[in-house]
Chain A
Amino acid sequence: MKKTLLYSALIIGAIVFAYPFIWMFFSTFKPDGEIGNIELLPEIWTWQNYILVFDRIPIAKGFLNSLIVTSLVTISVTLFGSITGYAFSRLKWKGRDFMFSLSLLTMMIPFQITLIPTYILIVKFGLTDHLAGLIVPTMVTAFSILLFRQSFLTIPQDLVDAARLDGCSELGILFRIILPLSKPVVVTVAILTFVANWNEVLWPLIVIREQSLMTMPQMVALFAVGGGSDSSIGAQLASAFLLALPVIIAYLIFQKHFIKSMASSGLKS
């Protein structure tokens, strides 16, 4: 009895969280008049919604733009985050503690303060309508440094000393000794950065106006808001589904890493 109740609650939960996505998937194959029907499966299957999306917006280009921006940011954040995290944890130098406090402070300042001045900076650099304008401001983040630092602090000093005696350079120690021992934190930082940047939409809306340079979420959001979709609900849902698909696939493959990484972002506060 108790078990039945438990599993009913679990299954209701599963339906509540998954059904909207299933509904969305099938609705993208319905003619607009059918989307309001309560039946899940389309009576008439149609590709029309997807045809309209590909006809009206360069969504493949949007996907490519997102992929370029997100990949470069992820590589950069992982690289500079680990280098700085190493300098903040295993090396002694004047000003280190001050710099570390300052980087903690950056995480406490809400972005509402820096949003407009950062935009003005991008304007001054001539990076509006430029993918670099999306990449440069987030090339390294305090949170990634913090995660790397915490992880690096757990590595035994003996290993570092031994490598140093062997004449290993500081970067050599980081890349040959420390990073291979810190794979979980690398995965965490990479996933967090990738997902956050893939889903980011406010900053692209501010920096990019030229359609061929827009990121995928930006393009899809504007497609839904503006007149581009001819207010076709099916086409809007189709574009949203295309946007969700890469992340859902990545999530289903690496779900354990996703859940662990994103739960660790709760530490941020």
Chain B
Amino acid sequence: MKKLSKMIKPGFLLSMPYMAHLSLFFVYPVVFSLILVFHRWDVVTPMEFVGFKNFIRVFSDEVFLQSIINTGIFLVLHIPLQIILALFFANLLNQKIIARGFFRTLYFLPVVVSGVVVTILFQQLFNYDTGLLNQLLHKFGMGQIPWLVSENWAMPSIAFMATWKNVGLYVILFMGGLQSIPAELYEAAELEGASTTQRFFYITLPMLNPTIVTVIVLSVIGGFSLFIEPYVMTGGGPMNSTLSAVLYIYNQAFNFGHMGYASTMGLFFAVIIFTVVKIQRKFVETEVY
């Protein structure tokens, strides 16, 4: 026995709990999901092998396509809005101001609060008749917006809400990014006669590239993970216009018991996320140099 314990290195021994957990909750699920995609299964009755049926179904499922389009709409609005606002506020907070900590604390507040809270709150703010937003628009003489009741507005509304919730995090990241830009770069550019706009586009933006990549990558992952917002606010409606990837998987798996089909969609979404993130990273990296 003593020999055996000598043979096993302490590093291996200390990692054993993690390796056991990893095998059970990572390796096994990944392998099992690759089996599930070829089966029909409702967990209760025995698994039934269906070959590539689930894959064929993914390609002919209009609702699946709709959920990807919805996520696309979300990202197209959410990403630029978030970058612009985060840059704007990060710039403000990096000026010589009093009470910087106070402002930073408030901007960051929505980041720490649960998505459930934010969703319930915005459901009321977005209300067509009684919501605060439409009342404000009315006060300023503008028309009301059918935030959650119109299929054209519902997903953009969720994108606005998500921006409001997350932007504080990116303000902090951009503040760090801005502070890491050497002041000499700006001084040199000023000597060369570069305008403020030129300095912004030729120094600030390229130097912030890593931060921008982070924002985009986290947004793509977040967009494909949207769940509680449509679940609470709209149930995916109106007309499936806010049905997100995860909400569709959830409905298929846990309301209809289509474990195999839901797993197949999960695999597709994962491949899409992976590809978008990879392409994005390549694209931005080459742009820097």
Contacts and interface: CB of A to CB of B under 8 A. Distances in A.
Interface stretch (B166-174, B181-189, B192-200, B201-209): B166-174
A85 to B, nearest CB: 9
Contact of A96 (B11, B112, B125, B218): B11
Interface in B47-97: 88-89, 92-93, 95, 97
Interface stretch (A48-56, A109-117, A176-184): A109-117
Nearest to A198: B114
B217 interface: yes
Contacts of A113: 29-30, 33, 263, 266-267, 270
B107 A221 contact: no
Interface residues of A, number: 87
Nearest to B253: A116
A170 B14 contact: yes
B10 interface: yes
Contact of A121 (B24, B136, B218, B246): B24
Q: Which of B29, B102, B132, B253 has the most CB of A within 10 A?
A: B29
B179 interface: no
A118 B25 contact: yes
Contact of B11 (A13, A91, A262): A91
Contact of A115 (B18, B24, B136, B266): B266
B288 interface: no
Chain B facing A: main interface SS: helix
A201 B172 contact: no
B153 interface: no
Interface residues of B, number: 95
A117 B263 contact: yes
Interface of A: 6-7, 9-10, 13-14, 16-18, 20-21, 23-24, 27, 35-36, 38, 80, 83-84, 86-88, 91-96, 99, 102-103, 106, 108-121, 123, 136-137, 139-140, 145, 170-171, 195, 198-199, 201-202, 205-206, 217, 220-221, 224-225, 233, 236-237, 239-241, 243-244, 247-248, 251-252, 255, 258-259, 262-263, 266, 268-269
Given A24-B121, A110-B269, A110-B270, 6 more contacts: A23-B125, A80-B21, A114-B33, A236-B120, A252-B105, A266-B169
14 contacts: A14-B102, A16-B164, A21-B109, A36-B129, A103-B18, A114-B25, A117-B30, A117-B33, A137-B25, A140-B18, A198-B114, A199-B114, A243-B117, A258-B108
Interface of B: 9-12, 14-15, 17-19, 21-22, 24-26, 28-30, 32-33, 36, 43, 88-89, 92-93, 95, 97, 101-117, 119-125, 127, 129-132, 135-136, 139, 164, 168-169, 172-173, 176, 211, 213-214, 217-218, 221, 224-225, 227-228, 231-232, 235, 245-246, 249-250, 253-254, 259, 262-263, 265-267, 269-270, 273-274, 277
